[in-house]
Every structure is written in C-alpha cells, then in structure tokens.
Amino acid sequence: MLKIALAMEKLGPTCILCMTTDSIMFINSHDQDAGVHAWIKTDVNTLFSGYRIASSSNNEIYFSVLTDSLIRVARVAQQAAETRICLTVSHGQPLLEWRITLENRVGSTNVSSHELEIQLLTSERMQPLMEPPVLPSPQAYILLPSLQSMKHLADRAKSLSKFLTVSANMNGQLKLVIDTELAQVDAQFNRLENPRLDGHHPSEQNRTQFVSARIATDDLVHFLHCHHLDPQNVICAITDQMYIAFYVYVNLNIHIQADDHPIETQSTIMTCHLPVYHY
C-alpha cells in the first residue's frame, strides 16, 4: 500500500478509497478540470491475505483520507510482521485503525495502534467518480520509456515553461516539446513500441504522423511520481489537441502467501487523465 500512497502523494492532499468485496480503488478526482485525475484499481488479494467487508451499501465502503497520513502509517506497516486494519468510530468520528505488530531480532513483538481520521462518502457522491470516463478513440498510443528518464526531463522543463507538448506517432516516436519566446527544447525518443489495442487498426499511411497534446508541466511531473509503483508498462494515448491519458500496468503481487503458495492476482492498473490546454 505504501507504493500506491506514494504514487498518489503529488496528485492532491486527499485520496478516496472505494472498497468492495473483490477490489480496492484509490481515486484522486476533483470538481475542477485542472490537475491530474487518477484511478488505481487493485485486487484485494494484492494488499491483504485476509479480508472481510460488510455494509448496508451493497457491501461497499467509500471514504477519503489525508494522503500524508496514509503514507506515514504505511511506512511503519512496511516493516511489520502483521498488520490489521479495521474501520471504527470514536466519539462520532470515523477512523481507520491500524494495529501493527513489529518483531525484533530476538523474536519478541511489539503491537502499536495508529488511527487515521477519515470522511465517509455516500454512494451518490461516489457514483460519478467510480470509474475513469471513456475517452474518444486515441489516434496514437505508445509505450513510454523509463519514467525516471522522463521525470528528469520534466523536472528541468519546469524552469523553462509552465506548459509542454507531448507528441507521439504510431512509428515508435515520442517527443516532449517546449516552445516559448525564451526557449525552444525538443526531446525525442525513438524505437519505442506501439502496443496493439483491441478495435484499433492504424493506417500504414499515417504511422509517421504526430498527434499532440499541450499539458501543464507540473501535471506531467506529478504523474511521473508513479515511478514509485515500479510499473511493468506505461501506455500514453493521445487524441490530437483534445485528450491525453496514461495507463500504468503494475504487478504488486509480493509478500502475499496462502498455505505456503503465492496467491495469483491480476495486474494493478493506474489510469491518469491530464487536462489539455490550448494556445
């Protein structure tokens, strides 16, 4: 859970959790168009070896929590021999209680309790946030290079311009472009992979044609913070001058054991939508 919390850290001060019987969704979404909107969906077996949920809302629970608080307690739990998390109420305040068992070198244990204040959310409030909106068919989709290398470029770009243009084609090429009165910078990646997407059949004649989206440099930097997830693949999808989305595929299937056998879990997927700006 620490990796997920760190990936959400730069996207906003609070994180929404949607817990169902078989999945957990971490959401950063807001009413304003500005800023990154992100959804991370993972199987419950990815995070928990034992899991039980019950509620009057179809056995689903929704709440928001301060991301910094989640990171702080998740760091402690990272070293734990066992962590138990339960939803409680104290003096009318909903809490997420973490009981963390730490074991020292000689085998003795120490149990500590950490309480995070949360705000419960209604199903009506959650309905428009539950799933990423469906975007128009992308004209280009490409596997990104190392997120660390892109983050290095994006960090440097912040000092040059508030905006940059991301361009890609179906010929394995990706460009990051800054064009201002004071600076013109063009960083290009070649020989990248264009994955196959169901229902999409790019024309051979248009494979070298670039499509572009102008985004806030800060938004790209904040998105690239998802390198904490150690993703297997990251796909960038662009509809020219209209939409840009990133799909981050992660395998978090670690430390989870059942009867001495690993539990098979599905890949965790992070979806990010960045607002597009025009000149």
pLDDT value at residue 268: 83
Split into its structural domains, the chain has a count of 2
Task: Tell me the pTM.
Answer: 0.86
What is the per-residue pLDDT across 136-153, written as a single tens digit (0 to 9) for each? 888 999 999 999 989 999
Question: Within this chain, do residues 267 and 145 fall inside the same structural domain, yes or no?
Answer: yes
pLDDT value at residue 264: 45
The reply to whether 134 falls in a domain is no
Among 105, 129, 153, the domain boundary falls at 129
pLDDT value at residue 146: 92
Among 101, 129, 157, the domain boundary falls at 129
Question: Within this chain, do residues 110 and 145 fall inside the same structural domain, yes or no?
Answer: no
Question: Within this chain, do residues 78 and 125 fall inside the same structural domain, yes or no?
Answer: yes
pLDDT value at residue 254: 47
| Structural tokens at position 43 | 């199987």
The reply to whether 177 falls in a domain is yes
pLDDT value at residue 279: 80
Q: What is the CATH number of the domain that holds 107?
A: 3.70.10.10
> 123 is in which domain, residue-wise?
2-129
pLDDT value at residue 145: 95
Question: Within this chain, do residues 81 and 158 fall inside the same structural domain, yes or no?
Answer: no
Residue ranges in the chain whose pLDDT is less than 50:
254-265
